[in-house]
Amino acid sequence: MAGADEIHIPAAFTPVGDVRGRRVVVTGASRGLGRVLAHAFSRGGASVALVARTEADLKEVAGELPGPSLVCAGEVTDEAFNEAVVDAVVGEWGGLDVWIANAGVSPVVGGPRRTTAAQWREVIDVNLTGAFLGARAAARVLGAGGRIIFTGSVIGERPREGLSAYSASKAGLVGLAKALALDLGPAGVTVNVVAPGWFDSPLVEPWKRHPELGAAVLAHTVQGRWGDPADLVGAYLFLASDASAFMTGTVLDVDGGYLLV
């Protein structure tokens, strides 16, 4: 057995979730979960680039943040826009450390006969292709210690009826993260998914008002409540920090036990 003096544990660890000085992009930062993430990273000492389509909303969020921020208004489905965001961040802060692909849509559609080709394409385009194009742009400049984090969903792991496009898009993110983890691992970049359960945000308002679904969410959540966006923050800070250096291609479920029931 190795002697105790041969056990190599650093004398001190940086705090888990330490993101001081990190240059971070958050897509979907104008409201809901992304806005809360932008606040959390800014309060943690990161510089945060805010991405969504509605510039006025992004400016409002930028005005709320305690630290440096950039407003980048545009479409995550646009390849050139994603490249321009990376250029803007590198131009302003000299590099990029973390790309959080969080922008997403979830229209209430129903079964396959009520899901049109246009609705299918929009959901896959924003949720999956948008995440890929962001990761693709980020990969141009991310170096050792770089992080890509996708916002997936428990629905990508256990689909719900009426959500075929959304379920497919979020399951697709898991495959994408694993594939990119292989591609970018040699460069020292990790790629992971945070899969939220059901959280209070504008996106889920229609579901909350739905009598059966609203009740089903509560019945299927061990903790018996909807998630507070603040419940998500720790997972992202952890995945963005040195504490997660050896984790890649994984899915972190933050769901109050939703997948257990």
Ligand X SMILES: NC(=O)c1ccc[n+]([C@@H]2O[C@H](COP(=O)([O-])OP(=O)(O)OC[C@H]3O[C@@H](n4cnc5c(N)ncnc54)[C@H](OP(=O)(O)O)[C@@H]3O)[C@@H](O)[C@H]2O)c1
Q: Which residues bind ligand X (CB under 6 A)?
A: 27-34, 52-54, 57, 75-77, 102-106, 126, 151, 153, 196, 198-199, 201-204
Residue 198 to residues 53, 89, 138, 187, 254, Cα–Cα distance (Å): 24, 32, 28, 34, 9
User: Judged by CB, which is closer to ligand X: 146, or 197?
Assistant: 197
Closest distance of CB 129 from ligand X, Å = 10
User: Judged by CB, which is closer to ligand X: 57, or 242?
Assistant: 57
The CB density around residue 6, as the number of other CB atoms within 10 Å, is 7
Closest distance of CB 171 from ligand X, Å = 12
Rounded CA separation 195/218 (Å): 17
Closest distance of CB 1 from ligand X, Å = 46
Strand partners, 24: 48, 98
Closest distance of CB 257 from ligand X, Å = 15
The CB density around residue 79, as the number of other CB atoms within 10 Å, is 15
User: Judged by CB, which is closer to ligand X: 203, or 247?
Assistant: 203
User: Judged by CB, which is closer to ligand X: 203, or 216?
Assistant: 203
Backbone angles phi, psi at 217, to 5 degrees: -60, -45
Rounded CA separation 113/257 (Å): 32
Closest distance of CB 51 from ligand X, Å = 6
Rounded CA separation 228/198 (Å): 9
β-pairing, 47-52 with 23-27? parallel
* Given the residues 81, 132, 150, 166, the one annotated as active site: 166
3-state secondary structure of 71: strand
User: Judged by CB, which is closer to ligand X: 14, or 223?
Assistant: 223
Tell me, what DSSP letter sits at residue 149? Answer: E
3-state secondary structure of 26: strand
Residues whose CB falls within 8 Å of the CB of residue 157, separated by 6 or more in sequence, listed in order: 170, 171, 174, 195, 251, 253, 259
Say whether 258 is catalytic.
no
Active-site residue set: 166
